[in-house]
Amino acid sequence: MVSRGARLSSLASEAEGGLPGWGARLAAVTGEADGELDAATAALLAARAGDERSAAVFVRATQPEVWRFVAALVGPAHADDVTQDTYLRAFRALPEFAGRSSARTWVLAIARRACADHVRAAVRARRLEARVVAEPAPLAEGDHAGLHATNALVAALPDDRRVAFVLTQVLGVPYAEAAEIEAVPIGTIRSRVARARADLVAAIAAARAG
C-alpha cells in the first residue's frame, strides 16, 4: 500500500509539472474540500501535511514575486534577508494555514509584516546611532547602484500608498487580493493607488521642470 507521504510527494511532482488532475487528488489526500487549487497553494497544503518536497515547490513558486515585493519596500540591499525572514515566519506559521486564501496572498501578507518589522528595526538602529555619535541619522539610505529613477520615486511614496501601488501595479496583484493582504476595504486600495499615481505624476513633472 502506498504511504500518504509517497502520495503527497508524487502529487507535488505533478503540481510542479502542471499535470492535469493533481488538484482533486491532493485535496482528497490533505482533506481539503477544494479540488481546484493553484500549484503554490496545493504545495503549501501538502507541506502542511508533512511533505518536505512540497515545501520546496511552494518556495520556488512564490519566491521571485516575494523578493520583488520586499525589494520595493525595503530596498534590494536588504531584500534577501527579509525574504529569508518571510519564509522562516511562513514555515513557523504553516500549521495555521487552512487554505482559505491562496498561498500567494498568505505569504505576501507575511512578507508585508516582515518588511514593517525590518523598517521599524532600522529606524530604531538609526536613532540609537544618532544618540551615540550625537549626529542626526539620515532620513533615508543612499540610492543603490542600478536603481532607476522611477524606483526612487516609488520609494518616496508614503508607506501605505507605496505598498498598494507595488502590489497592484508592479506585481499585478488584483485589487481584491491586495485588500486582503493589507486587511483593508478594496476601496481603500483603489484610493491609495490613485493617490500614488497622482504623487508620481507630480514628482515626474517637478523633476522635468527643475
C-alpha grid cell for residue 1?
500500500
Burial (0-12, 13-18, 19+ Cβ within 10 Å), 175: middle
Distances (CA, A) of 15 to 11, 45, 46, 49, 144: 6, 12, 11, 15, 38
32 has pLDDT over 90: no
Average pLDDT, the chain: 79
pLDDT at 143: 42
What are the pLDDT digits (tens) for 94-153?
Answer: 999 988 899 999 999 999 999 999 988 877 666 644 544 443 334 344 444 334 566 788
Q: One-letter amino acid identity for 83?
A: T
Distance CA 31, CA 47 (A): 13
- Comparing C-alpha atoms, which of 27, 29, 31 is closest to residue 41? 27
What φ, ψ does residue 63 adopt, rounded to 5°? -60, -45
pLDDT at 170: 86
- Angle of CA points 197, 155, 68, to nearest 5°: 95
This prediction has a pTM of: 0.68
Percent of the chain with pLDDT over 70: 69
pLDDT at 35: 47
What are the pLDDT digits (tens) for 49-58?
Answer: 888 899 999 9
C-alpha grid cell for residue 99?
487554505
- Angle of CA points 31, 39, 163, to nearest 5°: 110
85 SS3 class: helix
176 has pLDDT over 90: yes
pLDDT at 34: 47
Average pLDDT over residues 173-179: 94
Cβ neighbours of residue 199 closer than 8 Å, sequence gap 6 or more? 157, 158, 161
Secondary element (H or E) of residue 7: helix 4-17
